[in-house]
Structure 1
Amino acid sequence: MTTDPSSQLKAIRFAVARHIANGLVSSIHIRVKAARNLATEMDANGANVDALVEQQLIRDGYTAPEARTARSAESPDPWAPKPSITEYIPEPVRHVLADRLAHMLLGPAGGELQLQARELTFALKAEGFDLSEPIKQHITDSTLGHDPADVPF
């Protein structure tokens, strides 16, 4: 590691450019937005790293037009569905949430718990965390029991 300030600044710029490039091509919308915000903030403070970002994207296997598109792409279509984040949520958390929401939905018709469970389920789904199928499975298991055709192991 060098103590030369010029070398340190260069290393920091390369690290920031690498971070921005990785964020721009991410499938996670929040990460893309954070990368764009960081690039904008760098530009606003006179520390433009666009060329370094483009070099990093090309080094990662993107063509020059793809690199420019990734760097300059507008916000995603507001009507497009949000990308699924379900696979990023640990399985035990998904299982517990689906179980609790299923029990709340099976409560008295029109009850407060049922309303809250429905609102929470749809809010999570709108954010890309879809628990519909696991909830259906928990409701089926709770009302009909486990499917005898399912292998127990």
Structure 2
Amino acid sequence: MTTDHRAEAEKHLANAARHNNEHPSDMRIAEVSAWIGTGYATLARDEEQATNRADMRDALTLLRRREAAMRDRVARHIANGLTSTNRDRWSAARSLAQDLDADGENDSKAAWAGSHLPDEPDPWAADPAVQKIQNFYRIASAHLAYMLLDPDDLGSKEWARRLTFALQNEGIDLTDAIRSRISDTTLGRNPSEPPF
């Protein structure tokens, strides 16, 4: 059976106060109760501090694990960037490593001590499937825009409309891309917009 030290401390200190008020001539009982209550209060405080220390120890362990994981991820990205053939990515990885070195935060051995695994896919590489879909959208919207703008061939205009709406019904909405292409073709690019 566990003892609730806080409740015991409150009980004994209340008993000491009661004896002090009711029998001021007999201070021995009040004094003993006060000493017992103080002892239980000390035990209660020690239990709370032990619990707080355990919680703080667990939190510190968790933070150390997270820091180690984050350092490993940063080292892995720097290593992947430094081995990349993409010049911008290589340059960004180099400047990040230099900044970490300047701050004293870079563990220069971590990037090359097994963090870079060549069989891992490059997280910065363009997904070929996405690239093909984007190319399809760009080419299809350009051809459909030119077909809609053709003043001589009414059949191609109708065919372009039907194809656009059929694609839209299937979840492939090219209307904004076609509008943009028609606007660029008829009016030219907006000079206030960035070229990218």
- TM-score, structure 2 length as denominator? 0.32
Higher Cα radius of gyration: 2
- TM-score, structure 1 length as denominator? 0.41
Greater relative contact order structure (CA < 8 Å, 6+ sep): 1
Structure 1 or 2: more helix by fraction: 2
